[in-house]
């Protein structure tokens, strides 16, 4: 039984790290990037992934709630994240560069 407990601890730790990484990744993308790829909103994914992270901390991995959180995290990682990374600039927040008229597809040129 000690080997099984060690394996379950390792699996639980891996899920916690996985959901934490997804949460941080969701936080660094711009809000307009989520709208550009039509994948719900940034707030939606932050809430879902935040709940998945918290559930992974307080519940055993074989419970019902962590499995739902794992599915949500996997959906984000295989569907939403690649779509966000496919945008020019990767959909990430800009620090310092760009102007306030820049949109998700580049600078706005006033219809010229």
* Position with higher pLDDT, 36 vs 2: 36
pLDDT tens-digit readout, 32-78: 899 889 889 999 999 999 999 999 999 888 788 999 999 999 999 99
pLDDT tens-digit readout, 10-35: 999 999 999 999 999 999 999 989 98
* pTM, entire model: 0.74
DSSP collapsed to 3 states, the chain: CHHHHHHHHHHHHHHHHHHHHHHHHHHHECHHHHHHCCCCCHHHHHHHHHHHHHHHHHCCCCCHHHHHHHHHHHHHHHHHHHHHHCCHHHHECCCCCCCCCEECCEECCCCC
Domain boundaries, the chain: 18-86
């Amino acid at each position: 039984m000690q080997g099984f407990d060690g394996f379950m601890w390792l699996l639980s730790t891996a899920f916690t790290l996985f959901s934490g990484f997804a949460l941080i990744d969701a936080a660094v993308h711009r809000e307009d990037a989520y709208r550009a790829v039509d994948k719900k909103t940034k707030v939606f994914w932050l809430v879902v992934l935040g709940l998945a992270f918290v559930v992974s901390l307080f519940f055993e991995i074989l419970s019902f709630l962590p499995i739902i959180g794992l599915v949500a995290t996997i959906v984000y990682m295989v569907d939403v994240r690649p779509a966000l990374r496919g945008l020019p600039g990767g959909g990430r927040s800009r620090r310092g560069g760009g102007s306030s008229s820049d949109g998700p597809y580049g600078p706005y040129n006033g219809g010229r």
